[in-house]
A and B are shown apart, each in its own frame.
Chain A
Amino acid sequence: EEQLVESGGSLVQPGGSLRLSCAASGFTFSDHYIDWVRQAPGQGLEWIGRARGKALGYSTDYAASVKGRFTFSRDDSKNSVSLQMNSLTTEDTAIYYCVRRNRAGGGLDVWGQGTAVTVSS
């Protein structure tokens, strides 16, 4: 079964940092981009970035809302991606999903179950 499993979500104070992890199984990880999408409570989906594989130099893209604060790290040998989040604000409170991008024309076709991040004092 193709699967993504996130971990690391927790309660953190404003200004703090947190690292999320995403572990993949059941597919050739290196062949796919891995995106991160978040969803604030009761709100819609927000794309926050993408991590490409080793063949593309582990290049990354970030949404403007997180650029400079969030960093993706990917290791194709370990089938994993991590998301380092710094300078967190209450606006970052959300469920964070790691998601596989479909090679055949795009679209996000395999979603993790999500991990909850709460930024609060």
Chain B
Amino acid sequence: DIQMTQSPSTLSASVGDRVTITCRASQNIGSWLAWYQQKPGQVPKLLIYMASSLQSGVPSRFSGSGSGTEFTLTISSLQPDDFASYYCQQYHSQGDSFGQGTKLEIK
């Protein structure tokens, strides 16, 4: 099974900050990676797929990069609506897996 490790687990930041969340895969997954945002009490929302493709309707301040085993999600200028939990997911193999999540908190 492919293990996905996100860092940091918790991130404190302010409105307007640029933030980066990292996701590492235990083996090469090419570009088969997605990022999700989840707010308390809500279902997850797809932000990025194929490592860097922005899902329709997602603001352009979100971007994804990376390939192979290391990936990043960047929010260029944090907005109040962005404070949430973020998860990466690999779908390279028949057994998908998620990272443990990163909680983005207001500083």
Q: Are B98 and A45 in contact (CB under 8 A)?
A: yes
| Contact flag A64-B95 (CB < 8 Å), given A44-B101, A108-B89 | yes
Interface hub of B32, B34, B91 (most chain A Cβ within 10 A): B91
Q: Are B34 and A108 in contact (CB under 8 A)?
A: yes
Among B80-102, those with CB < 8 Å from A are 85, 87, 89, 91, 94-101
Q: Are B36 and A113 in contact (CB under 8 A)?
A: no
Instruction: State how many angstroms separate the Cβ of A10 from the closest Cβ of chain B.
Output: 20
A109 at the interface (CB under 8 A from B): yes
Q: Are A105 and B98 in contact (CB under 8 A)?
A: no
Instruction: State how many angstroms separate the Cβ of B94 from the closest Cβ of chain A.
Output: 5
Interface hub of B36, B38, B96, B99 (most chain A Cβ within 10 A): B96
- How many residues does chain B have at the interface if contact means C-beta atoms less than 8 Å apart? 26
Instruction: State how many angstroms separate the Cβ of B71 from the closest Cβ of chain A.
Output: 13
Q: Are A47 and B97 in contact (CB under 8 A)?
A: yes
B14 at the interface (CB under 8 A from A): no
A11 at the interface (CB under 8 A from B): no
**Considering the chains assembled together, what is the distance between the CA atoms of A102 and B91 in angstroms?**
12
A92 at the interface (CB under 8 A from B): no
Q: Are A64 and B1 in contact (CB under 8 A)?
A: yes
Q: Which of A45, A46, A105, A113 contacts B49 (CB 8 A)?
A: A105
Q: Are B87 and A45 in contact (CB under 8 A)?
A: yes
A26 at the interface (CB under 8 A from B): no
Q: Are A102 and B98 in contact (CB under 8 A)?
A: no
A70 at the interface (CB under 8 A from B): no
Q: Which residues of B contact A (CB under 8 A)?
A: 1, 32, 34, 36, 38, 43-46, 48-50, 53, 55, 85, 87, 89, 91, 94-101
